[in-house]
Amino acid sequence: MAGLSDLVELFGPPPARTALPEDWAEVEEYVGSALPGDFKAFLDAYGPGVICGELVVFHPRGAGALLTRMRQIHARFGASWRSAPDAYPFRFHPAPGGLVSWGYDHSGDEHFFWPCAPEPDHWKVVTNVNGADPEIFDGTFTDFVLSFTTRLRDADPRDGLDPDALEFLEPEDLDELAALGESAPVTPSFEPSP
CATH number at residue 70: 3.40.1580.10
Q: What percent of the chain has pLDDT over 90?
A: 54
In a domain, 68, yes or no: yes
Residue 178 lies in a domain: no
Per-residue confidence (pLDDT) for residue 165, from 0 to 100:
52
- C-alpha span between 168 and 149 (Å, rounded): 29
Instruction: Tell me the mean pLDDT in the region 84-107.
Output: 88
What is the tens place of the pLDDT at every residue in 122-165?
999 999 876 667 899 999 999 999 999 988 877 555 555 555 55
Rounded to whole angstroms, the Cα distance separating 143 from 140 reads: 5
Backbone angles phi, psi at 76, to 5 degrees: -65, -50
Domain annotation covers residue 55: yes
Residue 176 to residue 178: CA distance in whole angstroms = 5
18 within domain boundaries: no
Q: What is the C-alpha to C-alpha distance for residues 114 and 124, in angstroms, rounded to an integer?
A: 5
Per the structure, the complete domain to which residue 120 belongs is given by 26-153+189-194
User: Can you give the C-alpha Rg of the chain in angstroms?
Assistant: 18
Confidence band, pLDDT 50/70/90 cuts, at residue 166? very low
Q: What is the C-alpha separation between 53 and 31, in angstroms, rounded?
A: 28
In a domain, 10, yes or no: no
Q: Is residue 138 part of a domain?
A: yes
Please tell me whether residue 114 adopts helix, strand or coil conformation.
strand
In angstroms, rounded to a whole number, what is the distance separating the alpha carbons of residues 43 and 101?
Answer: 14
Q: Does residue 9 lie within any of the structural domains?
A: no
How wide is the angle at C-alpha 82 spanned by C-alphas 79 and 84, nearest 5°? Answer: 110
> Total structural domains in the chain?
1
In this predicted structure, the answer to whether residue 167 has a pLDDT above a threshold of 60 is no
Mean pLDDT of the 30-36 span:
96
110 within domain boundaries:
yes
What CA–CA distances, in Å, run from 174 to 111, 116, 166, 179? 30, 43, 9, 9
Res 83 pLDDT > 80: no
Average pLDDT estimate for 96-119: 94
**Cα–Cα distance, 157 to 129 (Å, whole number):** 22
